Amino acid sequence: MNNTELKKEILRISGVNVKKCMKCGKCSASCPAYDEMEFHPHQFASMIDNGEIEPLLRSDSLYRCLSCFACMERCPRGVEPAKLIEAVRLTAIRKQGANRMTADDVPQMLDDNTPGQLLVSAFRKYTK
C-alpha cells in the first residue's frame, strides 16, 4: 500500500477525524508512557494527517502504548489518539509475518509474577 492508501485505511479502521486536532498536546501531556515512546500521541495525529505512516509502522511506540485511553478521555476536540495508535498497530500486525508475538514466544514469558491473562491479551493484541 502506498502512503495515501495507508492513511485512508488507518482513518477507516480508527474512525478518527484527524482534522479536528487543534494541536494543543493535551494527549501527550496525559500520556503515562510518554518517556517510553519515540512518537507521542499528538505526533500520531499530525503524522497520519501528513501521510507519514511508514515511520509509525516501524516504530516501537505502537507497542509501548498502554491503551489506557487517557488521551481519548482528555482530548478537548474528540480526536481519540488511542484509536489512531491502535489502527496503526493493527495495520502493522496485519502485514504478513509482522506479528509482534508468536505462539512460540509465550512459554519463555511465563513466570510466577506475570498473570496468565496478561499474556493472553497481549497475544491477542499483538498477533494477527
Nearer to another protein, 6 or 72 (CB): 72
Query: Nearer to another protein by C-beta: 55 or 78?
Result: 78
Using a 10 angstrom Cβ sphere, with 0-12 exposed, 13-18 middle and 19 or more buried, the burial of residue 90 is: middle
Cβ 42 to another protein shortest distance, Å: 7
Q: What are phi and psi of 83, to 5 degrees?
A: -70, -35
- Among residues 3 and 76, whose Cβ is nearest to another protein? 76
SS3 of the chain: helix, strand, coil, percent, to 5:
60, 0, 40
Q: Which residues sit at the interface with another protein, rule CB under 8 A?
A: 20, 22-31, 34-35, 40, 42, 70, 74-78
